[in-house]
Amino acid sequence: MGPAAGQEADEGGGLGARRPHRARRAGGRLTAGTALPLPEGSWWDWEVRHYDGSRLTLVAGHDLTYHHGLEVVFTDTVYVRCPMAFGDPEFREPTPGERAETARLVGGEPPVLVAFEADGGGTEPVSCLIAAEAWAVRQGTFRRSVRAG
């Protein structure tokens, strides 16, 4: 069971304090010709904040040191191909080859298939792919947990 609306998972997977958020958008199927719809903002730094094999939380902002302003949560995730931290993603429609690859690997086309190119820290952009049953976008100010030790 994941966090309730308005709560975020800390880095250990537990629940943090309630966080106010300005917008919550949830979606089902991302139809052909569409990319992941994101609100306007400075979303150039991204990282995987939480992944438990089913629920994947990506966070984004202009500097992730102390907080982030955007969360994209994928639920019932069946396939993930992306670095743990990346920058400047360009979300796009999955290619026919990526659709076929995903269908072959997971036994059919998932309701949500997100593709993007990003700077993964190497010399060339990395092609990323996430397949899941559902997704949600939360925007607000989410403080990073600071742990002693």
Joined together, the tokens standing for residue 149 give 């030790």
Its pTM stands at 0.73
Q: What's phi and psi for 66, nearest 5 deg?
A: -115, -20
d(CA 13, CA 19): 16
> What are the extents of the domains in the chain?
23-141
Residues paired with 48 in a beta bridge: 58
Closest CA to 45 of 23, 69, 24, 79: 69
Q: Give the helix ranges, DSSP H, for 1-149.
A: 96-106
What are 55-103's pLDDT values in tens digits? Answer: 999 999 988 888 788 899 999 999 999 999 999 999 999 999 999 999 9
Report how far apart, in Å, the C-alpha atoms of 96 and of each of 28, 61, 99, 113, 130 are: 20, 30, 5, 12, 15
Question: 136-147, pLDDT tens digit by residue?
Answer: 998 878 887 766
> Does the pLDDT at position 42 exceed 80?
no
